[in-house]
Amino acid sequence: MEHLEKIFLTLYTMGLALPKAILPEALYKQLETPLGALIGLTGILIFAPVTMLFLTWMERKVVARMQRRYGPNRVGKFGVLQPFADGIKMFSKEDILPRAVDPLLHTLAPVLVVVPAVLLFTVMPFGKEMLLINLNVATIFIMAISSIETIAILMAGWSSRNTYSLLSALRGAAQVVSYEIPMGFAMVTVIMMAGSMSTLDIVNAQQNHWFIATPWGLLGFLIFFISGVAEVNRAPFDVPEAESELIAGFHTEYSGMKFGLFYMAEFLGGFAISAFAVTFFFGGWMGPAFLPSWVWFMLKTYVLVFVLFWFRGTLPRFRIDHLLGFAWKYLVPMALLNIVVATIWYFVPWYIGWPVGLALILGAHQALTAARLKRLYKAYDRPRNPLQPVVVNPS
């Protein structure tokens, strides 16, 4: 088990062994840190596309089973080679550049949307001693990097010179900006309780109990995960890609591998949201010692990835006004209340914090939803009871 735990650390050491043997000792000491970062980035650049390929196959299989289908089953055993066939198709398709587009921005947009998704992996603690960069402001880094997606979406829509693409880009930007706010407030509670913005310190703060086992942690996880699903445009929040309304959304004018980069960014973003939810609320890599820490981290992450695919296979798409209203009228107030609940939990014993926290959360939920449900219930045209006689007005 010890060898499995340190397998990636061993590979990292082997990667540094060659330059250590070739370079003079003084020069090697100067280059050891950048060489280590280069090896780590190389590992991430290998891990990211492999993860994307597996997630495309997994989503097709999961959604197919939910819809009583087989999913990919032709290319390779159980269709496991289907993602590679799709990749070959993406690379071989012609890169069409419409005459009216802005060629520079049109080309930069798919690159700009996938780079932040890859950079998020640099502050992701995959296991013990498996964190590439231990930033003391990692949570701010996560928010800053994920917000770059807004610029990429606007670049893609505006540079396409397509009315539908531009409308989709504006809706996508409004969606990302709206859901960043409750996501940030959900992360504030984690920072408060961990006393640090480092992802490593946040995981270590959960040694005694995971944050999900608290009322503020449970609500914070739901807000964080839902907001993250909306930020990466996954169903049921995939309004910018509403095919029934806007063709293919802000990437309508993209083809070939440029479209493939948007596709890759969506899956890597979904994986990153699941991984950070595990880091912030489910104890990160922590688990019983009979499995390596990185195995526990991946198992927890893929459980949440499965939930993402579950959403895709079962939930209908939000309408744009409902989507934005859900963020501003429900998630933002609940996220602000959650900060108060976390503060109460910090100062009182758990047997007082649980009932008080649940009472505040359920009361706020009822207050924020009762009026809308009442209006919806009144608007519903309920069928008459067939056993009840119908009184006809003689006049």
In a domain, 26, yes or no: yes
Same domain for 72 and 182: no
pLDDT at 65 over 70: yes
**Are 313 and 341 in a shared domain?**
yes
Q: Evaluate whether residue 356 is within a structural domain.
A: yes
Assigned domain for 202 exists:
yes
Together in a domain, 177 and 286: yes
Give the tens place of pLDDT for each residue, 284-324: 999 888 889 999 999 999 999 999 999 988 988 888 888 89
* Long-range contact pairs involving 291-297 (C-beta distance under 8 Å, separation at least 24): 292/1, 292/4, 292/5, 292/7, 292/127, 293/5, 293/127, 293/128, 293/130, 294/5, 294/8, 294/126, 294/127, 294/128, 294/130, 295/4, 296/127, 297/125, 297/126, 297/127
Number of domains in the chain: 2
pTM of this prediction exceeds 0.75? yes
Question: In this structure, are 78 and 169 located in the same domain?
Answer: no
Q: Are residues 57 and 110 in the same domain?
A: no
49 and 133 fall within a common domain: no
Task: Say if residue 223 is in the same domain as residue 362.
Answer: yes
For residues 60 and 102, state if they share a domain. no
Average pLDDT over residues 52-66: 93
- Structural domain includes residue 53: yes
Same domain as 160, residue 73: no
Domain span at residue 143 reads 98-371
Last residue of a domain, one of 59, 92, 125: 92
Same domain, 36 and 105: no
Q: Predicted confidence band at 345 (pLDDT cuts at 50, 70, 90)?
A: very high
71, 92, 113 — which closes off a domain? 92
For the chain, give the mean pLDDT.
88
